[in-house]
Amino acid sequence: MKLLTSFLLLLVLTVSASFLATAQKADEATRKLWDTAFIIPAANKPMPSRRRPGGRYRVATPNVPVDNVAPDTVVGVTIWRLRPANRADSGERLIVHDDNATTEWLPERISSTTKLAQGDRLRVSVEAVRSGYLYVIDREQYADGSLGEPYLIFPTTRTAGGDNEVSAGRLLEIPAQDDAPPFFTMRKSRPDHVAEVVSVLVTPTPLEGIQITDKALKLSETQVANWEKTWGSGVGRLEMSTAGQTWTKEEKESRTRALTSSAPAPQLLFYRPSLKSTDSMFVKLRLSYRR
């Protein structure tokens, strides 16, 4: 009897250990964007011993606390600038076929303060940690601070067939890799055009009255202002401590498989304290031209 009891106890312990190991492995593989352990702390606080793929975040909006943030409400954004690839480069290439020629571009992360030039080729990737729908608005900004008309540049049927659903681990690329061309080209519309103001909106349900076509949709200024007032107040931003990182295999393959915890984190992470997972999120990013 004692032998049988010992055997059963050993079996239970073995099964429990196996279950815990499997659960831990699954938890480690789960894509999580919000982790205050990877925010660069004050000088008198110790740094975490473990490293996050891509680096650590610094708080770019010190007036917005990082407390009381629901992990499934944050939105990650990465801006990529493309340059011609050469043999010595590491990182994944974006292959573009155009006019019977093939060009290899190397996407590199840029910071929110990077000054851009006419002709720069950009891509945007957006990641959320919940199910919902993604919308991207672009407005020109001029030297006097005024803004041009707002246009909904995503979704359109020309990018991913108009599919704008987001979910945990899914990276939405704008434009998509198989779009023609798979990048935006920075162009000034007039001499005093100094920046592009890009707004990213994540909603739990599709926005009413939005007709997805093959062209950017002109929005009313009143409508966009209401969205920003309702869903964009008190938004904070974290930025990865280093820029210049090249496109990885995990990020390149994200269109066919979900990202895991081993993939690099977004360059920018937007958050809003006390936000609920059923609330919408409106964030803005300014891309400035070099003078």
Number of other residues whose CB lies within 10 A of the CB of residue 235: 19
Of 270, 110, 267, 273, the residue nearest 202 (C-alpha): 270
Three-state DSSP string of 71-96:
HHHCEEEEEEEEEECCCCCCCCCEEE
Both tokens of residue 219? 């929005």
Residue 45 has pLDDT above 50, yes or no: yes
Cα separation, 71 vs 88, in Å, equals: 39
Residue 109 has pLDDT above 80, yes or no: yes
Cα separation, 187 vs 169, in Å, equals: 32
pLDDT more than 90, % of the chain? 60
What pairs with residue 205 in β-bridges? none
Q: Which residue do the tokens 């049988």 mark?
A: 4
Query: Considering Cα of 240, then 241, then 243, then 249, what sign does the dihedral take?
Result: negative
Query: So where are the chain's domains?
Result: 30-288
Pick from 9-18, 71-80, 224-233, 234-243: least confident: 9-18
Beta-carbon contacts of residue 5 (< 8 Å; ≥ 6 apart): none
Of 67, 134, 38, the residue nearest 272 (C-alpha): 67
More confident residue, 219 or 2: 219
- pLDDT bracket for residue 5 (50, 70, 90): low
The pLDDT assigned to 2 comes to: 54
